[in-house]
Amino acid sequence: MEFHQRVAVVTGAASGIGRALAGRFAAGGMRLVLADIEEPALHDAALALRAQGATVLAQRCDVSQPADVSALADASYSAYGAVHILCNNAGVGGGAVPVWMQTPDTWRWVLGVNMMGVIHGISSFVPRMIAGGEEGHVVNTASVAGLVTGPLISPYYASKHAVVALSESLYFDLQIVGSRLGVSVLCPGFVKTRIGQSERNRPPEGDFGPPGSDQMRAKMKELIDQGTAPEEVATQVVDAIRRRQFWILTHPEMDARLSDRAERMLARRNPEVPELAQRNSPQ
């Protein structure tokens, strides 16, 4: 796929993987549409990319709100006349507590951003991308948490499994209609992002329950801080787009866990609680 002078839309573009994707696309000569709920950080990201010579449209967008995503699509097509790469990347985490302690407001928030944000992106952009008739690609950011499961962050696991399923369905549907659009689902492990600080973008009103075990939160922060650089993930995404590769599994060290889950499932064996969760379970 030719990148130069094509148009890429990235949600969650102000930091983390989204910011790295924007940088990689800019380096390839693409024109950019950056969206994020954090307006000051979005402004800074846009300024930095423009200083490097990129053409950038930046727009605040809450992906959980369909009107925001529809307005983002309108602005993108008004500015550039086309969209060739769509990265439904915005995402949040949640409190590390058992399923029965997750509040309705937490479920609404996490599913609203992580799952409905992808649905809104597909609904608002893909019909126009198909109608444009040009080669293009959709990248939906899930997680390795969309391929395995575990305790204490059930809304996150549920939302990311949904993104994987949505992405496969989108892939099949585009194949059936003979579209020139490709699809990838991004399933990274631990990456150096600010997802552990997701509460900074949580709605100010609502009951989001307790934050969970301090010990577990500290361990998660350590794993994130030691994670892969977002730029490395972005490079793998660009390579996958060029190869029209559906699965983007950025952490090969997780392959054994994926295999173990599949083997347990096929053998009808019960899941095994991860050792980390056993040591740090809330009291």
- Which residues are designated catalytic? 156
d(CA 254, CA 257): 5
Calculated CA dihedral for residues 149, 152, 154, 155, nearest 10 degrees: -130
Is 59 strand, coil or helix? strand
Beta bridge pairs of residue 257: none
Neighbours of 176 (CB within 10 A): 8
Phi, psi of 184 (to 5 degrees): -130, 145
In the numeric block, which tokens belong to residue 222? 């350590």
Cα–Cα distance for residue pair 280/185, rounded to 1 Å: 30
Dihedral sign computed on CA atoms, order 27, 116, 198, 283: negative
246: left (phi over 0), alpha (psi -120 to 50) or beta: alpha
Residues in the chain: 283
Question: What gap in Å lies between CA 42 and CA 44, rounded to an integer?
Answer: 5
Q: Name the pairing type of β-strands 56-60 and 31-36.
A: parallel
Name the DSSP letter for residue 257.
H
Partners of 11 in the β-ladder: 35
Q: Are 55 and 80 in contact (CB under 8 A)?
A: no
